[in-house]
Copies of this chain bind each other. A is one copy, B any other.
Amino acid sequence: MNVKKTRTPRGKRDSTDAEAGTGDAQTTPPNSRTLQKEATRAAILQSALLIFSERGFDGGSTRDIAAHAGVHHALIKYYFGSKDTLWRAAVTFLFERQAAEMSFEPPAAAATAKSRLSRRDHAREILRQYVLYCARHPEHARLMMQESLRDSERLQWAADTFISGTASRAERFVQMLQREGVLPDVSVPALVYIIVGSAQLFYTLAPEVRRVWGIDPADEAVTAAHVEALLAVLVR
């Protein structure tokens, strides 16, 4: 990461490339200062995602996060208030990005495709999108897993704020597939965790996969093989 604004003595930034993204209108044209502020905040958030996802909330120190982002650790309080708030901001970022990149529940949205694609093909496409998301952003599952394997106030907050909604969409998705005969008529929560587990684990445990199997889940070909395997097993 590292903001590394080609620092002059202290936090001075070279305003050469500062005027890059003037996409917005009216609302006060972004100063080099507000731009830099945004960059610093984003750098901290991204570093927090990485550190928290690999070491957990307790294991990841704010100083490590700041160092990885190339900023002073006091800026974490300045921008996010506390370690806890930073963690919540990271989780919020993850779920909002997921919502933006993936419409897990297009059973209704992509209804137009229903005519051309069979329900089975439709299920395949959704699952494929989900696996690709897991491959693209493995830190999402990693960070959430760190919190979900023990009960805590953070898990409670995440469950109420984000996980429950995602779970509801997954539940409807599974029930739809059951009605269509794609999935067997068994426990829905079990099916959800079977699908999620079989899609996620290969990427959350990528370090183990590399070391034990000598392949890299980040490789496109490897991911393609995983998608093929998952679809062959799940969608009968």
Q: Which residues of A contact B (CB under 8 A)?
A: 53-60, 142, 145-146, 148-151, 155-156, 159, 163-164, 167, 183-184, 186-187, 189-191, 193-202, 204-213, 215, 222, 225-226, 228-230, 232-234, 236
Contact A187 B229 (CB under 8 A): yes
CA distance A183 to B151 in the complex (A): 36
Q: Which 7 A-B pairs have the closest CB atoms?
A: A197-B201, A58-B59, A197-B197, A190-B229, A148-B208, A187-B225, A54-B150
Contact B202 A200 (CB under 8 A): no
CA distance A204 to B142 in the complex (A): 13
Q: State how many angstroms separate the Cβ of A218 from the closest Cβ of chain B.
A: 13
Contact of A209 among B193, B207, B226 (CB under 8 A): B193
Give the dominant DSSP class at A's interface: helix
User: For residue A183, which residues in chain B have a CB less than 8 angstroms away from its CB?
Assistant: 233
User: For residue A163, which residues in chain B have a CB less than 8 angstroms away from its CB?
Assistant: 208, 211-212
Chain B residue with minimal CB distance to A210?
B151
User: For residue A164, which residues in chain B have a CB less than 8 angstroms away from its CB?
Assistant: 212
User: For residue A53, which residues in chain B have a CB less than 8 angstroms away from its CB?
Assistant: 149
CA distance A208 to B210 in the complex (A): 28
CA distance A40 to B228 in the complex (A): 50
Contact A202 B190 (CB under 8 A): yes
Contact B225 A190 (CB under 8 A): yes
User: For residue A234, which residues in chain B have a CB less than 8 angstroms away from its CB?
Assistant: 233
Chain B residue with minimal CB distance to A206?
B149
User: For residue A195, which residues in chain B have a CB less than 8 angstroms away from its CB?
Assistant: 198
CA distance A54 to B206 in the complex (A): 20
- A sample of 17 more A-B contacts (CB under 8 A), given A55-B56, A55-B58, A194-B233, is A56-B59, A145-B149, A148-B207, A149-B205, A149-B208, A156-B211, A167-B212, A184-B229, A184-B232, A186-B225, A186-B228, A186-B232, A190-B202, A190-B229, A193-B201, A194-B201, A197-B199
30 contacts between A and B (CB under 8 A): A53-B149, A54-B150, A55-B150, A56-B56, A56-B146, A58-B59, A142-B149, A149-B204, A151-B207, A155-B211, A163-B208, A164-B212, A186-B229, A187-B222, A187-B225, A189-B213, A190-B225, A191-B229, A191-B233, A193-B198, A193-B205, A194-B198, A194-B201, A194-B202, A194-B233, A195-B198, A196-B201, A197-B197, A200-B201, A233-B234
